[in-house]
Amino acid sequence: MRRISAMLALLVLTAPAQAGVLRVCADDNNLPFSNKAGEGFENRIAALIARDLKDTVQYAYALQNARFLKHTLFAHRCDVVPGVTAGMEGIETTRPYYASTYVFVARRKDALDLSSLRDPRLRRLIIGVHLIGDDSTPPVAALGREGIVDNVRGYMIQGDFSKPNPPARLIEAVRDKEVDVAAVWGPLGGYFARRSGSLLEMRAITGTEAFAPLRFRFAIAMGVRPGDDALRDKLDAALLREKGAIRIILTAYGVPLVEIDGVRNG
């Protein structure tokens, strides 16, 4: 009996993705990427890919923190994770379907026109940044190299999940004059700056080569469990067929697109 139970457990763990259903791992309160209402751009891209594959989308939701993959993909509650860094360790990833970069978001009327982390004005401005647990983001590390520390204000990217769109808190801090400028991941900055109307503006952070090996540009892919080559290949083909439509979605959400490692957007 113990041997049979072990064999059944193995079958469950190695079961293929459910036919006719694209089971997607997502956070239900993480705009602009995803939410329970399906309003994020990753929701729209997932729906697009599902239609291409003649599948229907089924979501497994969890808080997108350090245990997200454990509670979703590796718990076999879902089979596809949109929005992962291409080549991410521990999972297999598809071809990238976009690449983006870090940006500055500031109040338009202040006319700061910032683009460099070496701009001397950053020594006197209040700078808002996202913090990811105990880890810093590339702008935080670069500012530290420049000795810009005391005027940097950190906002947890996970924030207060009892409220809508926790990552937006940093951009709201710019709007509300708590900080003068935010250094933020492009898809977040672009989306929330656009939603401000004409109040905020976004500029890509340039000249980041000076801070190597820090990376500011990242190619983004979909992730599957190791060994799920058939699903990965299906997704690759669909992403290629739908690349034009994906670009339209990303542009509509204000995502700043860049070319990186041969990745072309659309």
What fold characterizes domain 99-211? D-Maltodextrin-Binding Protein; domain 2 (3.40.190)
The span from the CA of 66 to the CA of 133, in Å, is 9
Residue 6 pLDDT exceeds 50: no
Q: What is the pLDDT of residues 64-86, one digit of tens each?
A: 888 999 999 999 999 999 999 99
- Residue 250's pLDDT is what? 98
Class of domain 2-98+219-252 as given by CATH: alpha beta
Question: For 83-112, what is the mean pLDDT?
Answer: 97
Q: How far is CA 158 from CA 13, 51, 96, 164, in A?
A: 30, 31, 25, 11
Q: What is the pLDDT of residues 159-180, one digit of tens each?
A: 666 778 888 999 999 999 999 9
Domain span(s) for CATH 3.40.190.10 in the chain:
2-98+219-252, 99-211
**Residue 206 DSSP one-character state:** B
Please state whether 254 falls in left (phi above 0), alpha (psi between -120 and 50) or beta.
Answer: left
- Residue 209's pLDDT is what? 95
Q: What is the pTM of this model?
A: 0.88
Residue pair 80/232 in contact (Cβ under 8 Å)? The answer is no
Q: What is the pLDDT of residues 39-58, one digit of tens each?
A: 999 999 999 999 999 999 99
Q: What is the pLDDT of residues 207-222, one digit of tens each?
A: 999 999 999 999 999 9
- Residue 260's pLDDT is what? 72
What is the bridge-based pairing of β-strands 181-185 and 98-107?
antiparallel
**Residue 115 DSSP one-character state:** -
Dihedral sign computed on CA atoms, order 216, 249, 164, 200: positive
**Residue 211 DSSP one-character state:** G
